[in-house]
Structure 1
């Protein structure tokens, strides 16, 4: 029986792309840099520093520190507050919570903006745990380790959990922890034809009932 529903955040519960991509453009402009690749939704998901290195084409630690600081200043104080939830997500989260499921988040986003968005959307109290890329520095290096840490801390049996996400990387991280993965069709990733992504948040409820 599934008792714990673990969620990715960006591209799964919230459409964070517009605010994040605008920040990347502003950061590069502020530092006199040109993007080495298209600034599009394909950038959403990996940790910030990794994305800035890929986008700038630079690996100099001091420059990446400066780019990261600029991004955090712009995003954390202004842009993140404009993030919208996907249609139907709030009602689904509330129903899951009411029905006794334990909800948690495992995201490559940093903790501060994640918590700010949760509060702005009125979702405080819905999630038992929020694990972000920087929640426990040095404890895990990727989402596989993050999900493992979340399971450990919550004493959650893998077979009792589902991880809901929008990319193949989310699926690989779930599989590495023996957790069932339920992909969503509305995020930033793409799945093989044999996958059957959820077409709406409401379908998550329906599939849980029939699982």
Structure 2
């Protein structure tokens, strides 16, 4: 829990809030791990839950490379197989909103804050999932990976800022993994790290503020 006196008031004054998607807005962890397990087993790889959790957050290609020691070409083909299976089998019931996300989005909207999504998920898939959750009108844009133009979280954040026509000084990022923090900082944007996804204890030590829930995020942003 973060005491009021410890909350950086500068974040309350920022007019734009960027959100990560997976593990921050929507609970996609189960669907991601189930789909990845299926494509890995088809290749004769039996993954552990600990290995699969390493895929939650970073881009899938680099996640497969790091978690399973496969070549870049193999990681690319695994990612393609994963995306095809995910699109065929995953429904909105598999990625419900994280607790108190609807409340936070309502409060930010009432406060007149501008919102967008910057994700490491492939952009077309992220847009489809946002639409299925009924959130399309909530966000000015959804920026995700779009090879070869956009390959990293920093790329997604950079292009979201450009699309919205805002400077880093106007923006705060909310994310659940270290790559969200690193991507935001690479663009000069402060980041609120929230332990709603797969982050390990201490993972958000590099964040500007660390929160345990979306209610705490709402307090940090001055809307609760």
- State the distance in 1 between where 2:138 and 2:46 align: 40
The answer for the alignment partner of 1:66 in structure 2 is: 77
TM-score (norm 2): 0.82
Q: Is the 8 A contact 1:171 1:181 kept in 2?
A: yes
2:178 match: 168
Deviation at residue 38 of structure 1 after TM alignment: 3.5
Alignment of structure 1 residues 13-52 onto 2, 5 Å? 13-35=25-47, 38-52=50-64
| Contact 2:194–2:204 (8 Å) recurs in 1 | no
Equivalent residue number for residue 128 of structure 1: 140
What's the CA shift for 1:159?
Answer: 1.1
> Would the aligned equivalents of 1:158 and 1:179 in 2 still touch at CA under 8 Å?
yes
190-199 or 150-159, which moves further after superposition? Answer: 190-199
Q: Is the 8 A contact 1:3 1:101 kept in 2?
A: yes
Q: Offset of 1:26 from its aligned partner?
A: 0.5
Q: CA deviation at 1:37?
A: 8.3
Where does residue 201 of structure 1 map in the other structure? 214
Aligned-CA RMSD value? 2.4
- Partner secondary structure for residue 45 of structure 1: coil
Q: How many residues in Structure 1 have an aligned counterpart in Structure 2?
A: 207
Alignment of 1:44-193 (within 5 A): 44-59=56-71, 61=73, 63-79=74-90, 81=92, 82-134=94-146, 137-189=147-199, 190-192=203-205
Q: Distance in 2 between matches of 1:207 and 1:74?
A: 38
CA gap of 1:60–1:91, structure 2 versus 1, over 3 A, is closer
Q: Secondary structure at the match of 1:118?
A: helix
Gaps of 5+ in 1: none
d(CA) in 2 for partners of 1:76, 1:170: 24
CA drift of 1:196 comes to: 4.3
1:195 is displaced (CA, Å) by 6.5
For structure 2, list consecutive stretches of 5 or more residues without a partner in the other structure. Answer: 1-12
1:79-117 per-residue CA deviation (whole Å, 9 max, x = no partner) reads 253111111101211221232111101110112332232
- Post-superposition shift, 1:203? 2.5
Cα distance between partner residues in 2 of 1:43 and 1:16: 11
Q: Provide the TM-score with structure 1 as the length reference.
A: 0.86
